[in-house]
Structure formats: structure tokens, C-alpha cells
Amino acid sequence: MFKTLHSKLIAFIALVLLSTASAVVYLTHRDVGREVMHIEQNNVENILDGVFLNLQGVYRNVIADRIDSIEHSRERLQRESDFVLAVLTLYAQNTTYPTPSAVSEFRNWLAQLDMGTTNFFIADTQGQIFFDSENNLVQQNLSELSDIRGQPLSGVVNTPQSSFAQFAVFSPNDNPDIQKLAFLQRTPAWDWILGAFVDISHIKAREKARLAQVVKELESQFAQARITDTGSLFIFNREHEIIIPPAHIGFPERLLPNLPTRTPQMQRDRPERSVILVDGERLVSYTRYFQSLNWFLGAIIPETELQAPAQELVRRQSVLIGGIFVLSVIAAMGFAQLILRPLGLLATEAKQLAQQDLTTNTYTPKCIETLTRKYTDEVGALAAAFLFMQAELKNNVRRLLETTAAKERYQSELNVAREIQMSFLPQELPLADTHRELALYALLEPAREVGGDLYDFFMLDDTRLCFTIGDVSDKGMPAALYMAITRTLIQSYTARESDPGHIIRLVNDSLSKDNPKSMFVTLILGIIDIHTGQIGYANAGHNPPIIMTQHGECDFVQGISGPVVGAIEGMDYHNLNMTLTPGDSLFLYTDGVTEAMNPQFELFSDERLLQTIRHAHGASPESLIQHIRSRLSEFAADAPQSDDITMLMIAYHGQTTTAETP
């Protein structure tokens, strides 16, 4: 579907535009829509705040009227009580204690006293009322009358401040609809309790009438107020009784208990929001608590109406963005066609270029040269790069032909060198048919075309076999030459010397004299007596050989005769000795075996080599070496060979007797 650059470019532009449009719509729905929703909610909260402040102002006026009325009544009671107390003082001057006649005369005077709505009562020291101008409190005790806080009036005059006058509001006969404001004080002359009181029930009635008028006014305002289309304001109390019902929406009273009435949380400045379900429709309510009247101011709105402005805004923007998206895609298609036309021409020329003979100068792309003159932007730069590529391709093809020819010559020379190097190495034991005391096999696999490992074996005489194995410090052609020189020197010196340590010393001195590359070789050189199995050998820094007994035991033969060969002239190498019994074998190898690596860079290791040899106990030299080589291949898997691999094994059988037939 998107095989051409034109379709990919259109798809990319469309994807970018679609992603941008989706992001804008999403952000609009999330942020702008949320902000519009927040504005609607603030509008509702502001309306509730206005109602709250209006109700608060009315209630403050009511409270102010109550305070003024009570203060006026208090001043009046105190003034008139002082007048009565002054008259009582005059009566008390004529007698030292309240005689029945004096008391009767004062009561008659007080009964005839007209103070308007003010009335008086007198109680003795035990709080027993014996005079009341209304005759409603006589024979009652002050302890039987309670103030609005539920405390008996006797407690008012028996407090530590009882020497002072006290005010109290009480309801006679436990009638809460009647409230009286009393001014109580002790009479110093006859030790009575004088009470002046006035009915203040009209204050509460006036407050109720004022609140009823406020409710009626609010109900009219709520009916005219519009919150969205069908949203309404309402008021209910803590007992879930509707005071002002919603005007524009059906609201079953059974749902009132679902509204929040947790007053400690509602004493905040913001209304509390909740969602209720009415006949399958989600309604959002906002509730604010008016503590003074224990009322809850509420607003109820269908959730769909709160979301409608935001959804309408998102819909309009989605339509607008969709139109912009379609126009942008159409414009992008034309723009892409304009840009890609010269690219198509370049693609055609590129196909033709692949079919041209670049070794000649017959191909000249005229149309590409036209593009470089017509366009000064990236298209022109690309056309110029095409011409430059064509010229460089011609040069590279010419150089490649020259390099390929040189590489083929070099590779051919390396192949010849490999064949020559491998031809140096002996393939089978000399006189194998007549010397059956030994079985010998060797393997060398260079890591490159030619390698730096070496092995050799040859008979010194009828009873002695010389064998050697070595590893040159470098790789490739230099190591191969160094290996050839080392092998030649060994064969030269063993022709006239039979001491392994002395032979290695002579080889070391020869190699050390002229060694500008500081190359060296690790080397083991040994001579075995095929009749006795005795071996004299020297180890010049090489890996220790492994001896395998006829009983299946397998271990490294420790011992070093001296340092590596070719590094320092004049070094001495002492001889080492061992004896093979029939059935024993000696295994020699280079570090390319133990240091072979797998893809995880793990080494084959000495221990793994020992385990492999133990498992193949009793195998012939060739079978054992091939088995080890197979295990190395399995271990290395796909990892490239990092070093030359060389192995040599001598199996000692001892002298054998052949019976002659007559």
C-alpha cells in the first residue's frame, strides 16, 4: 500500500495532521471543555453565594431588630425595677423587718401600680413566689422555672454574683410559645427577690413573620431564576423538609436524604457537589449550609445541561479541525506531487545507470544536468550528487578492477604458500610398517591461509624418534616464515646433536641473533626410544603435555626447561625425562586448543580438554584428535577461529613379537 515515496509522504503528512487534530480535540475536550464546565459550576456557586449573602443580610437585620427590642426591654425593666426598689426602701424605713401589715400595704401598692406591659413578682429567700401582678406565678418556686438554656431561675440569684441584678428569659408553665424577659435582683431591706418581667413573645413572632416573608420573596426569585435550561434552586432543613421546592424540575422529596447534610464539611466557603439519580437521569446538586437557620441552600441541574456548552464547543471545533485536515491533505498531495516529480526522474536515471558500462564514457545523463540548472534547492543538490556519484562510480569500478586483480594474485600466492607450508609437515610415521611400537597422528589447522604453529616428527635412527611441536607468537605470513625457519633449524641441529636441551639452545641462539620483529616461539622437542619408551625432552615455554596411562589416568606433565625460543640469546635449557609403558600415550597441543572461544567469549580451558580426553580413553591417536577437533567445533559454534589449532599424539605399544609360520 505504501510502496512509493509519494504514498508514504502523503500518509506521513496525513498522520501528522491527524495526530495534531486528535491532540487539539482531546485537549479541547479535556481542558477547554473542563474550563467551560468549571465556569458553569462557578455560575451555579455564585448564584448560591448570592442567595446565601441575601439570606445572611436579612437574618442579620432580624437579629439586629431582636437585639434592639431586647435592649430596650432590658433598659425599661431595669429602670422600672429601680423605681419599685426605691419605693420598697421607703416602706422598709418604717420597720426593721417585713411585718404583715407592711407587706400587705406594699403588695397593694405594687398591685395597683400601672407600668404598661411590665409586671412584677416577689419571692422569698427560698425562691417561693408569694406575689405576682399577673397571678400566674404565685405558689411557684424559682427552681421550677427554667431559662432558655434550661437552667432554673433559682440558680441565677444563687450564683456568686447574686448580689448583682441578673437578666433571664423564661417560659411560664413550660409553654415554649411564650417567652418573658425578667430582671431579677435582691432587695437589701427585707431580703426578697424582686422580679420585673415583660412579654417578649412578640419579638419571636415578628421574626417568624419576617422569615416567612423572606421565604416568600426567595420563592418568587427562585421561580424567576434560570440555571441552564431546567436547573432550579431550593431550600430544605436538616429534617429533610422542603422549605422552597425546585421550580423548574421534578424533584421527589424521597431523594432529599441523598443530599449531603454533613454540616462540619459544609461550613466552608464553597458549596458541596454531589450527583443523584432520578428516574435514570443524573442530576448534579450543589448544597451550602446556612448555620444560623439550620437551612441548606441547594441547586439541582441535569448533568447533561452542565456538559452541553462544553460538548457544543468540542463539536464545533471538531468540525472546524476536520475541514482544515481535509484541505491540508489535499494541499499536501499537490505539494508532494510537485516535489516528487524530479525524484521520479532521478529514479529512472538510476535504473538506467545500473545497466550502463561504466568502464567507458558513452553514458551521459543530459536530463540530470538539466535538473541541476533548473532547481537550486535540495532537488538540484541531489541531481548534482547523482552526477558526482556517476563520476565516482566510474573511478571506483576502475579501481575495483585493479584491486580485484591484485587480490586474486595475492590470494593465489597465499594458497600456494599454504600448500607449501602444509607439504612441509609429515603426514605419517616413518617406517610405520616396521616400527609398530608407536602409533602417531598430528593435525594442524591455521586460523588464516597460513599459520604460525608447527609440528614435526622423524626417525634419528632405527630406535629413536624425534618429535616437536611449537607456536609462533604472530600469525599470518610472518609467522609462517618464522615457523619454516624454526623447523629447518631443528632438523639441521638434530642431524648432529641428540640432546633436546642443547638443540633448543642452538635454535634459540640462531633465532635471537637477527630478530627485528621480536618474534618468538614456544616449543617442545623430545626424543623417544621406541624400544624402552624412555623420553628425553625440553619444554621452552610451551603448554604442558598430557600423559594418558593404560589404566585411564590422565594428567598434565609439569616442568619447564627454559623460556620461549628466539627472545633472548644465550639461554640454557635443561632436559626433562619421562617413560611410557605399553598402553600409555602422550598428547601435545598448542594454546589454540585450550583458548578456543565460543560466542560468549568463554575459553575451552585445560579442564574441558582433560575431560574430553578421559571420555575418549582407549581411542587411537587419530580418533582421539578428531574427537577433540569435533568437540572444539561444537563448543565454538559460530564463533570464528581465533588461533591456529595443532595437536600431536604418540601412543606407545612397546615391543611386539611376530610369530613366523613355516
Separation of alpha carbons 95 and 99, rounded Å: 8
pLDDT at 622: 93
More confident of the two residues 41 and 424: 41
CA distances (Å), origin 410, targets 291, 406, 579:
105, 6, 47
Give 349's Cβ-side CA count (13 Å radius): 23
Q: What is the mean pLDDT of residues 224-229?
A: 75
Is the pLDDT reported for residue 265 higher than 60? no
Q: Residue 162 has what pLDDT?
A: 47
**Burial call 33-48: b when 16+ CB within 10 Å, e when fewer:** beebbeebbeebbebb
Q: Which CATH architecture has domain 224-303?
A: 2-Layer Sandwich (3.30)
Out of 47-56, 339-348, 549-558, 578-587, least confident range: 339-348
Taking only the tens place, the pLDDT of each residue in 360-413 is: 666 667 677 777 777 777 777 877 787 777 777 777 877 887 777 777 676 666
pLDDT at 102: 80
Minimal CA–CA distance to 442: which of 597, 645, 216? 645
Tell me, what's the pLDDT at 236?
84
Give me the residue spans of the domains in the chain: 224-303, 356-423, 425-652
Confidence of residue 178 (pLDDT cuts 50, 70, 90): confident
* From the candidate CATH numbers 3.50.50.60, 3.60.40.10, 3.40.50.300, 3.90.1150.10, the one assigned to the domain spanning 425-652: 3.60.40.10
Max distance between CA atoms of the chain, in angstroms, equals 188
Euclidean distance between CA atoms 257 and 241, whole angstroms: 10
Using a cut of 0.85, tell me whether the model's pTM lies above it.
no
**547/511 Cα distance (integer angstroms):** 30
CB 276 within 8 A of CB 40: no
Which of 175-189, 202-216, 246-260 shows the lowest mean pLDDT across its residues?
246-260
Mean pLDDT over each residue of the chain, to the nearest integer: 82
Tell me what percent of the residues of the chain surpass a pLDDT of 70: 86
What DSSP state is assigned to residue 2?
A: -
Lowest-confidence pick of 111-120, 142-151, 262-271, 430-439:
262-271
Grade residue 578 by pLDDT with cuts at 50, 70 and 90: very high
How far apart are the C-alpha atoms of 379 and 387, rounded to whole Å?
A: 13
Query: Does 538 or 438 have the greater pLDDT score?
Result: 538
DSSP state of 259: S
Output the pLDDT for position 536: 96
Query: Are 421 and 482 within 8 A, CB to CB?
Result: no
Alpha carbon separation from 129 to 145, 147, 280, 309, 385 (Å, rounded):
11, 16, 66, 72, 123
Name the more confident of 113 and 281.
Answer: 113
* Whether the Cβ atoms of residue 92 and residue 190 lie closer than 8 Å to each other: yes
What proportion of the chain, given as a percentage, has pLDDT over 90? 24
- Residue 374 contacts by C-beta under 8 Å, 6 or more apart in sequence? 380
| Confidence class for position 326, pLDDT limits 50, 70, 90 | confident
513-553 pLDDT, tens digit each: 888 888 999 999 999 999 999 999 999 999 999 999 998 89
Residue 127's pLDDT is what?
85
Is residue 658 scored above 50 in pLDDT? Answer: no
CA distances from 199 to 146, 203, 221 (A): 15, 9, 35
Residue 640 three-state SS:
coil
> 497 is written with which cell numbers?
646433536
